[in-house]
Structures are given as C-alpha cells and as structure tokens.
Amino acid sequence: MSDKPQWAELFTEVVTSGLCTGCAACVIACPKDVLEYDRRGTVPFHIADDGGLDNCTHGERGCTLCTRACPRFRNWESEADHLRHGRDREITEVAGIGDVYLTRATSADELATGQDGGFVSAILNFLLERGDIDAALVGGLDEVEPWRTAPAVIRTRDEVEATAGSRYTYSPNLLAYPAAAESGAEKMAVVGMGCMVSAPAVMAARKTGKTARRLGLTIGLLCSKTFDEEIFDGLFLAAYGIRREEIVKMNIKGVFQLWLADGRYVEVPLKEAHAFTRSGCKNCPDFAAEHADISAGGIGAFSDWTLTIVRTELGRTIFNDALAAGVIEVRPGSDDPGAIALMNKLSTVSRKRWPEWAQGGPRRIPVTSA
Ligand SMILES: Cc1cc2nc3c(=O)[nH]c(=O)nc-3n(C[C@H](O)[C@H](O)[C@H](O)COP(=O)(O)OP(=O)(O)OC[C@H]3O[C@@H](n4cnc5c(N)ncnc54)[C@H](O)[C@@H]3O)c2cc1C
Ligand code: SF4
Ligand code: SF4
C-alpha cells in the first residue's frame, strides 16, 4: 500500500467499502478536476480517461489531496477531535464535546421560516451582515423540482430566508464551494450534517491549504439519516397520494410530519420510510455533527427552540456576540434534560453503526454509556 494514499486508496477503503457519505469533500479538494459527483447516487467518481474509475494518474505522481479531505478516511475522528479540541473525546462524550443550550431567533421572520428556533438563520444573517463571512454554503431548493435539495451559495437575508427549514433528502452543500470561491468569497460558513462539517476539520488537520482556510466556520445539523429522492414517489405519492410539490414543510419527530399547501397535516410512520434510507447514511457514526463549531437540532420538548451545542472557541465567540447583539435568545440546556438524554441516546445508536472492520472511527474509544 502506498504511503502517499491517493484516490486508489480512497476508492477501495471508503467509496466502495460502504463508508462514503457522499459529502463531496474529495471532489472540491481535487486540484486537477478529475473527481466528479453523481447527484443521484450521492457518490464521487473518478473520470475514466485519467487513470480509470479506481486509480488516478496524478495520485501516482504524489497527489494526496482527496484522501486528506475525506472525513471517513482512516484516523479521521481522532484527527478532527484533536484539531478542534486538542484531545480525543472522553468515553462519556458520545455526542462530541461542547456546551448545550436552547436557542431561538429574536426576529419573527427567522423564527417563522426556520425549521425549529431559526437559530441557524439568525447566525447566518448576523455573520453576513457583520462581514465575518462573505458567503455561506447551505442546502437550497432546486428551481425546477420543488423539494429536490440542491447546494447553494447564499449572501443576503433574502437568500437565508429562501433556504431556511429542513429537507430530508441529501444536499452535498460542499459542492457549492467552487461557485463561492470563483465569485471571490474568501470567508465561508458551511451549514450541513455531521458528514459535511467534519470535512473542514479533517482538511485543516491534514493541511489541505486554502480550501480548509476558506471553510472557516461550520454549523452542524443533528442527523440520524437522510432519504433517497425516491421516497417522494415510492412512499408519499404511492401510499398517501401526496405529490412532492404539495409539501410545504417536513419534520421528523418520531414520525415523518408533512404539512401540505391545502392546510392538511399528515403523519407517516418512520418504519414505512426506512426502506428509502440513503445508503451513504447506513454506516455513519455521527448524529450530533461532532466537529462543527456549533451544532443545531430539533429534538426536545420545545418545538420552536433549537437545541444548540457550542463546541469550539470560534463557536463560543460567535454565540456570545450574537447573544449580545440581541439576534438570538438563549436558555440553559438543563431546561430540557430529556432532549440531552435523547441526543446522547441517538448519538450512541449512530456510533454503533461504524463497522468493526473499519479504521479511524468511534470504535477506537469504546462507547459504554448513553
Ligand atoms: C437531513 C436532516 C436531518 C436532520 N435530522 C435531525 C434529527 O434527527 N434530530 C434533530 O434534532 N435535528 C435534526 N435535523 C436538524 C433540524 O432539522 C434543524 O435543521 C435544526 O434544528 C436547525 O433548526 P433552525 O430552525 O435553527 O435552522 P434553520 O434556520 O431553519 O436553518 C436550517 C439550515 O439547514 C439547511 N438545510 C436544510 N435542509 C438541508 C439538507 N437536506 N442538507 C443540508 N442542509 C440543509 C438550510 O439550508 C439552512 O441553512 C436534521 C436536519 C436535516 C437537514
Ligand atoms: S466520504 Fe466524502 S470525501 Fe470521503 S470519499 Fe465519500 S464523498 Fe469523498
Ligand atoms: S446520517 Fe446524516 S450525518 Fe450521517 S452520512 Fe447521513 S446525512 Fe450525513
């Protein structure tokens, strides 16, 4: 095996082994543009005339950037933990390291369009308007097909509002990076699930240079799984007669909750949705977006508040500044102990998904408690 691991190693150890989440970090890190992305399968692939599907001629000459960007390659979790916190996590830190709060936006608009407390929207608006970031990479909506998620670069309050809320199909938000960089953005925030927000940490730990530097702030979304696009026709339409363009909001709170344009509210049991689980999620060990600067989720007793985990020094500074500026309000996490217990339980469940045979994930630190 090469001591300079390249696409050939990434292909066998991550892409075809079942560890690949489809985060697209390898695609945006590749300086030779020989990696592309299959939006339907949510997987990267190597273009055939430059080494074939399973090898890369640039890799043979020493290029290792794709493996250095991948947040599932070899010792990724420990490297990201050390970069963010200077240490491996303790056994009890199943949901990663950080302090838990309940938060919500003080703006009525952000609260109305946000999925939970509109915290993520409030922070993005705050950072864009203060000039801390030039752009954010988020999950937007396809212009042609409603509810088809699509990576988006946003810069304005209107764009934050248009992309707020949660979709439960996969949006590889990092794929918006090239457009943001081409338009001159140097300071970017990434919003995304754990699979995406671990990438900038791993990239920085493995010194990928300017891509890592530009992806300066990460806002993670708690996540157990995403679903294939087929869920719209195969379940919602086939079993409930609901067309995707009728759905105005979705949430998952023990059941799939659907709000429809005509005012109806429909619940779909989660067990009916399991068959549509996206394959990239099946081995994912990270529920709580553990390497984000700040993570955000919707579990808990208070549906219009965001469960928020402040993880890093940068996250703490932004959180405090946003609070001082009055754009968010905050309650202690201890106001909802059930939410913290559920986060730890769901994190424990996810961490058990990392296969025994794989290197680098949570098995290195045995998980013993919820
Ligand atoms: C696929 C998915 C699964 C989730 N699962 C859970 C869960 O199991 N438990 C839990 O507690 N929380 C979960 N969340 C997080 C929750 O739904 C909210 O995103 C979170 O609470 C923040 O709410 P908010 O009102 O502060 O965010 P908002 O202000 O509404 O901002 C949400 C941000 O998420 C981005 N986004 C929306 N959909 C996607 C997508 N598909 N891919 C990438 N980015 C997207 C938007 O562009 C926006 O920037 C999940 C989110 C997603 C997207
Ligand atoms: S997990 Fe992400 S970086 Fe790793 S191979 Fe898959 S798409 Fe590429
Ligand atoms: S479960 Fe969520 S965090 Fe994990 S790979 Fe799937 S989308 Fe990413």
**Range scoring the smallest mean pLDDT among 41-45, 176-180, 357-361:** 357-361
Tokens of 275: 């068959």
Ligand nearest to the CA of 354: 3
- Residue 370 has a pLDDT of 33
- Residue 40 has a pLDDT of 86
- Residue 46 has a pLDDT of 96
Ligand nearest to the CA of 24: 2
Give the predicted TM-score (pTM) of the model: 0.96
- Residue 162 has a pLDDT of 96
60-113 confidence digits (pLDDT tens): 999 999 999 999 999 999 999 999 999 988 888 999 999 999 999 999 999 999
Residues facing residue 306 across a β-bridge: 103
Average pLDDT across the chain, whole number: 94
- Residue 2 has a pLDDT of 61
In the chain, the domains with their CATH numbers are: 7-69 (3.30.70.20), 76-227+278-364 (no CATH), 231-276 (3.10.450)
Nearest CA to ligand 1 atom 24: 118
Tokens of 165: 């809320």
- Residue 147 has a pLDDT of 65
247-292 confidence digits (pLDDT tens): 989 999 889 999 999 999 999 999 999 999 999 999 999 999 999 9
- Provide residues with CB under 6 Å of ligand 2: 10, 14-15, 20-26, 44, 69-70, 72
Is the pLDDT assigned to residue 308 strictly greater than 80?
Answer: yes
Atom of ligand 1 lying closest to residue 118 CA: 25
- Do residues 180 and 198 make contact, with C-beta atoms less than 8 angstroms apart? no
Compute the distance from residue 166 Cα to the ligand 1 centre, in Å.
4
Q: Rounded to the nearest 5°, which phi and psi values hold at 58?
A: -70, -35
Is the pLDDT assigned to residue 360 strictly greater than 80?
Answer: no
Question: In the 8-state DSSP scheme, what is residue 283?
Answer: T
The strand ranges marked E within the chain are 35-38, 43-46, 99-105, 135-141, 149-154, 188-193, 215-221, 247-252, 255-260, 265-269, 294-297, 306-310, 328-332
